[in-house]
A and B are shown apart, each in its own frame.
Chain A
Amino acid sequence: MKENQEVLFGLYDDETELLEAVKQAKAEHLDIMDVYTPFPVHGLDPILGLEESRLHIAGFIFGALGTLTAFLFMTWVFTRDWPVIFGGKPYWSVPAFIPITFELTVLFAAIGMVVTFYTICGLGPGVTNPVLDERISDDKFCLAFQTNGASNDSINSLKGFLQRTGASEVHQKVI
């Protein structure tokens, strides 16, 4: 499916121009495919209407899993599986379990969140995603529209929109 995606995109030189353009596109109800920038642009998410990321929920769940794993496992080992007295302490020595419980909480949360992040973004080792323009990771700010099956008129009007809003370059690409 990806092979025949037709994309019309404009490159802007500055993030403020891009922000204005996205705002106008939204106002004109244009269907934005995506916006690509060299760095996270402050204030772009609300204009695009992106919902807040829910990664922290994943982090919480993984973290809680880590807490339980560590604490229950140590409890099981020292009260059921192989109880040993260390230094005259009770079998179930809660204060001594806290450091490892904490560490595993953090470890599970971090690994879980990072894996979730790359999975939901469709990124990962060896993944190749089409790059619209190689300068997007440098200093260009890109606003892209999908034009599959669009009429010449509508493509032209999109082109006009991009030029009107200050895009320094407008290109068409099939990816």
Chain B
Amino acid sequence: MSAVVSPIREPLITGNKTYHQITEDLCGPTEKAPNLAWIIAFIISIAFLTFGVFCIAWTIWFGIGSWDLNRTIGWGWDITNFVWWIGIGHAGTLISAILLLFRQKWRTGVNRAAEAMTIFAVLCAALFPGIHVGRAWVVFYFFPYPNTRGPLWPNFNSPLLWDLFAISTYFTVSLLFWYTGLVPDFASVRDRAKGFRKKIYNFVSFGWTGSAKHWQRWESLSLILAGIATPLVLSVHTIVSFDFATSVIPGWHTTIFPPYFVAGAIFSGFAMVLTLMLITRKILNLEDYITIAHIESMNKIILLTGTIVGVAYLTELFIAWYSGYIYEQFAFYNRVFGPYWWSYVGMMSCNVLSPQIFWSKKMRRNIFVTFVMSIFINIGMWFERFVIIATTLARDYLPSSWSWYDPTWVEIGIYLGTMGIFFTLYLLFTRVAPVVAAAEVKSILKTSGDQYAGKNAHSHGHGHGHGHHHETTHKVEYDDTADSAPLSAATPMPETKVEEVTEVVEENTMEKVVEESIGIIDDVEDDLKKIEGIGPKIEGLLKAGGFKTFAALAGADLDAIQKILDDAGPRYRIHDPATWSAQAKMAAEGRWEELQKWQDELDGGKE
């Protein structure tokens, strides 16, 4: 992590956080009683889960005949749901591993929750192969072990067995990766807890102390796990795609399936991460850690992967025609114009067309639009799997065996049940562990906190050319004096005093810090745009004219400001700076509420 940050980057942590504040915000939710929204959501999830368990029991008791599968369509909602869940399970490791390798710092805000989501989604997915074999009680036949049926081994040449290995491995590695990341945060919770809670968290935090050597190994471990998890993510959905592509079924046997399935999985995984994070950040008040910048980055990935999936759809269509192979051509004709045409339309419109809305920055940064889009994509990706599986099977080589398939209530119930399982586990997770990786967020605070990066930072890193250690020290120096000045006493303090100080720090707003630091650092600039009537252009003019801070502007002569505007040309001459210095005075003194009230009355900065 280089300490030098481009001035063009947006901050990833807002609200002028201190380290302690981060601990408070992120560990806090595990310590309080759940709020009403959580309880309602939990009850609903449990209800779905219960119904799902009932439907699974029904299936096992009465057999697979309780589903609508038939001789032609042997895979229906079961495998559709399986692939859908596995796909969703891809974003977690992708965010953690690939974004770690590609140095995308915004991953720290969402990786913990995304990894949790991965684990729960893989659990839901693994359920389906288990029950769709019919005799769930002999499901252990899947595994190779010395057995009493003669030395008979499972078929290692079968993609379905590859799948078993891929998914077990993926689940295990994701779990290890996730848990290792959690250990330091569990230690934070442990050190804040009392009594029985402390015992529990002591157990799960494995005796973590934060020793330098441990951190070094921990980082090394995370990086290597990320390194091997990256090809692992690719392999899992690749192998899922082999389930189809190794066959000779037209529409299934196509060589682009592996990378195309992976892109689709990332696509749907990010959509689900967005769905969850938008809710989580609202309920747990994590807007400072999962910022609009995070959401925008994820929307960009959605747009990118949606487009890749689009390229794959069109490639398939084109090559089906190009192959000159009539069965292949028919398979694709059937997808688009066959009896299940609506699922193809659903897939195309939700996955390829609707994400195009994210070309607009405004839409990418709109939370409501993002939420709706994330749901759309979840639906679209479900349709994609349905198109590939059921639509293709329904019209096979032999027209006399063509068939039709509708899910029964049992199949729908199991699908809803997996939703219940997923959300129940996720809701429990938000209660027991910090939803955002606290230690990792702390480690990027000095580079990505809004007091250090972005346009409201205390100073710009642009144009300096020294070593980075020096640079960090420089920044920290005045930060210290600004917001933790009371802590700098060299003598030990009693516990109570620390608490007091904490509160002071909490109250500290961005503006206060700026204000306090005015006297210390000469080149501090304020955001003059906060004054009604001043836009970015005029702000530039004023700063060029020497009015860089609220204080400077407050003491400015009206004529001097007018002259700056007049000199800048007719476009600026029309502005009326009469109220600016009075507004600036309020800002400089930190009377923000008063200023806000006055600005509401003002019309474009004029009385």
Query: Which residues of A are interface residues toward B (Cβ below 8 A)?
Result: 13-16, 19, 34-45, 48, 50, 52-53, 55-56, 59, 63, 74, 77-78, 81-82, 84, 86-87, 89, 93, 96-97, 99-100, 102-104, 106-107, 109-111, 113-114, 117-118, 120-132, 134-139, 142, 163, 166-171
Specify which of B215, B469, B488 lies most central, judged by the most chain A CB atoms within 10 Å of its CB: B215
- How many Å lie between the Cα of A150 and that of B442 in the bound state? 36
Given contacts A38-B23, A100-B162, A136-B191, 16 further A-B contacts (CB under 8 A): A13-B484, A35-B211, A40-B215, A42-B443, A53-B221, A110-B176, A114-B176, A118-B206, A121-B217, A123-B207, A126-B203, A128-B207, A129-B209, A137-B184, A138-B23, A170-B492
- How many Å lie between the Cα of A1 and that of B93 in the bound state? 42
Partner of B157, one of A36, A50, A93, A167: A93
Q: Chain B residues near A111: list those with CB within 8 A.
A: 172, 176
Residue of B nearest to A81 (CB): B151
Consensus secondary structure, chain B interface:
helix
Residue of A nearest to B158 (CB): A86
Q: A37-B212, A99-B239 are in contact. Are A138 and B218 (CB under 8 A)?
A: no
Q: Chain B residues near A137: list those with CB within 8 A.
A: 23, 184, 187-188, 190-191, 208, 210
Q: Is the CB of A96 within 8 A of B157?
A: yes
Q: A96-B157, A111-B172, A129-B209 are in contact. Are A53 and B152 (CB under 8 A)?
A: no
Partner of A127, one of B207, B232, B239, B484: B207
Q: Is the CB of A59 within 8 A of B228?
A: yes
Q: Is the CB of A139 within 8 A of B18?
A: yes
- How many Å lie between the Cα of A42 and that of B159 in the bound state? 44
Question: Which of B271-279, B417-425, B472-480, B562-570 lies on the face that meets chain A?
Answer: B472-480
Q: Is the CB of A110 within 8 A of B155?
A: no
Question: How many residue pairs, one in A and one in B, have C-beta atoms under 8 Å apart?
Answer: 220
List 7 A-B pairs, minimum CB-CB distance, nearest first. Answer: A127-B207, A139-B19, A53-B220, A134-B191, A129-B207, A99-B162, A40-B215
Expressed in whole angstroms, the minimum distance between the Cβ of B494 and any Cβ of chain A is 10
Expressed in whole angstroms, the minimum distance between the Cβ of B258 and any Cβ of chain A is 11
Q: Is the CB of B490 within 8 A of A131?
A: no
- How many Å lie between the Cα of A136 and that of B169 in the bound state? 35
Q: Is the CB of A117 within 8 A of B153?
A: no
Residue of A nearest to B505 (CB): A139
- How many Å lie between the Cα of A96 and that of B440 in the bound state? 40
Expressed in whole angstroms, the minimum distance between the Cβ of B552 and any Cβ of chain A is 30
Q: A38-B439, A56-B224, A100-B161 are in contact. Are A139 and B217 (CB under 8 A)?
A: no
Q: Is the CB of B231 within 8 A of A106?
A: yes
Q: Is the CB of B23 within 8 A of A55?
A: no
Expressed in whole angstroms, the minimum distance between the Cβ of B575 and any Cβ of chain A is 43
- How many Å lie between the Cα of A136 and that of B165 in the bound state? 41
- How many Å lie between the Cα of A130 and that of B190 in the bound state? 12
Query: Which residues of B are interface residues toward A (Cβ below 8 A)?
Result: 1, 3, 18-20, 23, 144, 150-153, 155-159, 161-162, 165-166, 168-169, 172-173, 176-177, 180, 183-184, 187-188, 190-192, 202-204, 206-221, 224-225, 228-229, 231-232, 235, 239, 242, 439-440, 442-443, 446, 469, 472-473, 476, 480, 484, 487-493, 498
Q: Chain B residues near A37: list those with CB within 8 A.
A: 210, 212, 215
Specify which of B3, B180, B210, B219 lies most central, judged by the most chain A CB atoms within 10 Å of its CB: B210
Partner of B153, one of A16, A77, A97: A77
Q: Chain B residues near A171: list those with CB within 8 A.
A: 492
6 CB-based A-B contacts, threshold 8 Å = A38-B210, A50-B213, A78-B156, A82-B150, A125-B206, A135-B498
Q: Is the CB of B492 within 8 A of A169?
A: yes
Q: A16-B473, A123-B183 are in contact. Are A138 and B488 (CB under 8 A)?
A: no
Residue of B nearest to A138 (CB): B23
Residue of A nearest to B477 (CB): A16
Q: Is the CB of A38 within 8 A of B212?
A: no
- How many Å lie between the Cα of A99 and that of B172 in the bound state? 17
Q: Is the CB of A87 within 8 A of B235?
A: no
- How many Å lie between the Cα of A110 and that of B93 in the bound state? 14
Q: Is the CB of A104 within 8 A of B165?
A: yes
- How many Å lie between the Cα of A135 and that of B190 in the bound state? 11
Q: Chain A residues near B20: list those with CB within 8 A.
A: 138-139
Q: Chain B residues near A113: list those with CB within 8 A.
A: 221, 224-225
Q: Is the CB of B480 within 8 A of A14?
A: yes
Expressed in whole angstroms, the minimum distance between the Cβ of B229 and any Cβ of chain A is 8
- How many Å lie between the Cα of A120 and that of B220 in the bound state? 13
Q: Chain B residues near A107: list those with CB within 8 A.
A: 168-169, 172-173
Q: Chain A residues near B155: list those with CB within 8 A.
A: 84, 86
Q: A36-B211, A56-B224 are in contact. Are A45 and B216 (CB under 8 A)?
A: yes
- How many Å lie between the Cα of A82 and that of B187 in the bound state? 51
Q: A53-B220, A82-B153, A138-B23 are in contact. Are A123 and B214 (CB under 8 A)?
A: yes
- How many Å lie between the Cα of A100 and that of B498 in the bound state? 56
Partner of A110, one of B1, B219, B228: B228
Expressed in whole angstroms, the minimum distance between the Cβ of B148 and any Cβ of chain A is 14
Specify which of A15, A78, A137 lies most central, judged by the most chain B CB atoms within 10 Å of its CB: A137
Q: A55-B224, A99-B242, A114-B221 are in contact. Are A50 and B216 (CB under 8 A)?
A: yes
Partner of A103, one of B23, B151, B169, B446: B169
Q: A86-B157, A137-B187, A168-B487 are in contact. Are A36 and B166 (CB under 8 A)?
A: no
- How many Å lie between the Cα of A13 and that of B480 in the bound state? 9
Q: Is the CB of A110 within 8 A of B225?
A: yes
Q: A16-B476, A93-B157 are in contact. Are A167 and B176 (CB under 8 A)?
A: no
Expressed in whole angstroms, the minimum distance between the Cβ of A92 and any Cβ of chain B is 11
Q: Chain A residues near B215: list those with CB within 8 A.
A: 37, 39-41, 44
